Structure 1
Amino acid sequence: MKRLTRRTLIEGFAAFSAGTILPAAAQQNRPIRLLVGFPPGTAPDTVARIVTHKMSENMGQQFVVENVAGAGGMIAAAQAAKAAPDGNTLFMNTVSDMSIAPHIYSKLNYSPKDFALISHLVYTDFILVVPPSVQAKSVAEYIAWAKKQTPMFMATFGPGSPAHFGIAMFANSIGLKVEPVHYKTTADAMTGVLSGAVPGLFVTASLGVQYVKDGKLRALAVTSPSRLAQLSDVPSFAELGFPQAVFAAWFGLAAPSATPTSVLERISVEARKALQNADVRQKLEAAGFRISGTSKDEFSVIAQKEYSSWGDAARSTGFRAD
């Protein structure tokens, strides 16, 4: 048997270090890609850039946001699901591609099970807004007015969107039949409501707050669990007694499912650290987002709940995208 000398031990430790520590360091020097399924300037892109900028500063590692836009985030989701599970490719998953798409498409090029959840980052709540031509000043008045309309129309940002099924949640909570008017773009939907062509819309807080403050639209209620700081005089549906109308879009970080747990944990810790930064919080809140910042396990609980509630809303409409 070979005698273990001090030199042998040192050489052995050096070889072990080269096989474990150095690859990790090399991996750390590679840019981390964050795939975002929506164009630059959209809400998911805004969150991605604000959060990863701070993560890059804290970690000393470059993050690259790649916009792979199209099909409501599903193109990016399919690409991310097939990426190498080495921690160098992350995905900004959203309510659209994770909570809604699996319920309305018979075939997807990915599954929610293809991803390991890292951290739930933010919610973006909705505001029920009406044009000035609608006389209702409260949700109660709006419901009374809506029940006299045959049919009752509300705008959406497109079929299968959170606003589409948000209408279903609201309508189901009050026993009202609402016909959604699906616009091709966000700009078209906003024009439709601003002009009074359609008498209502669930608009994201990140987009709608300024229209309300400018007096171009009237806010009747918000879908957040409590009032929004930006619109403190507007009640929440929860306080008005409509718990079914409490909903929000959301964005979070995920990675291919086989990514090592140690890598996922590290990124989760860094994401939460970034979200605790005062400057990051100010930017996100000013943009209309409600900060979450969860652990991996907490994100899993949220994802299951969101998958179920949006699935119920989608089934209640009978809508299928294919």
Structure 2
Amino acid sequence: MNSFNMRYHEVLNEYLLNVRDKVQISFELFPPKNEISCENLLQLVDKLKLFNPIFFSVTCGAFLGKKDNTYNISKKVYQRTGIETVPHLTCINLKREELINVAHKYWENGFRHILALRGDVEDFNSKPNMYAVDLVKLLKSVANFNISVAAYPEIHPESFDAHSDLINLKKKIDVGANRAITQFFFNIDCFLRFRDLCVHNGITIDIIPGIFPIVNFRQLCNFVKTSNVTIPRWIFNMFDGLDDNIEMREILGASITMDIVKVLYKEGIRNFHFYTMNKFKIVASACHILGMASNVL
């Protein structure tokens, strides 16, 4: 490492000296596949809660054939931790009446915060009957939910361009969204440009960066096939030849995640949403450098 890079990392580390109590974090979980996985998830939650997250979110999932699995897991996580738990709700495969019933169920059972999403379509050429903006309006018509929505620093794959993508985000905010959580990214400049564009277009709600710790690089490559997320060439080079070296992959994944967090903190970001993939080590490493509950590790 040359002297410039050494000094750059020293500067980043200096920014982190007084981070404690200045950062907010949240964790995304996904529903387990079976009862054993469910117990593993709850044990993971026991560890993650020691980092004092402001909330857990639970993705939509159809595992075990349970239509309401997101609700059940969200309830278990909240009962286990006492920490606000945010169920994801998609509208792509549900009728309006069904969505209203789901919204009432969440509200009546104490859920006040929903992450409202359209959901993935199988065929980009087909026109969905509802979009996220419609879901936000529907939720607000049922009760005064606290609503998070998705944002895309590298543009949603179905958007015509960055401007139309921002207009769509603005529409969701205008009908009641309270914050946006971004799709994960590895090009930090893309996120920072997106944040600036949001401000320029009158979007003043919190834009929370979604952080994806790389645990399984091949899995990541599959994830990005249906998105506009760019994996920089240097990341491909770092993981080249490491398919069977789990320990080295974890070390590299932790290093990349921590560098992203450091740079974002230097750029004024104080709120981070971690896509945990139901894993602990790398997420814990990133939280540790942010000064969150250092006694956990």
TM-score, normalising length: structure 2: 0.28
Larger relative strand fraction: 1
Give the greater-gyration-radius structure (CA): 1
